[in-house]
Amino acid sequence: MAKDQPNVSDLVALLGSTDLHELEQVKNLLQETLSADKGTMLLNSLVEYFLETSSSQAVDILSSVREPHDKYLLDKMNECMGKQSCRLSTITLLGHIVRKQPPWIHKIARFPLLASLLKCLKVPKIQNQSSVMGL
């Protein structure tokens, strides 16, 4: 990124703008940055931004990620899945991305993210039914 351009955090924060022209420019700049080799820092920032704000703009950008950056996105989401405070937002983000059907969607099954998701969905076996029923 050139020195006259704002840093990644500033760009990501601008996704909350209500000015549609500015928002479109920011989205284009973010997507250009993602297509560069240095997109991992931006991906991490976008995921964090989504987890904090549930931004539909962030989802649009994250679901348009191209190879090889899909790997970094899935790794970051897997990392977030390990934190209980981020888990629901991460599952929500995954649902949004799957619904957008990026070209690399088939790779999700081969990444640790799926195993982490399945682990979260497991319901612990209830040892004593009477304690659950209040008896």
pLDDT 10s digits, 47-58: 999 999 999 888
Structural domain contains residue 2? no
Structural domain contains residue 102? yes
At position 75, the amino acid (one-letter code) is: D
Structural domain contains residue 3? no
Structural domain contains residue 48? yes
Given pLDDT bands bounded at 50, 70 and 90, which one contains residue 4? very low
Q: Which pLDDT score, from 0 to 100, does residue 124 have?
A: 64
For 35, the domain range is 8-121
Number of separate domains in the chain:
1
pLDDT value at 38 more than 80: no
Structural domain contains residue 130? no
Own/partner pairs, 3-10, CB within 8 angstroms, 24+ separation: 5/29, 8/33, 8/41, 8/42, 8/45, 9/45
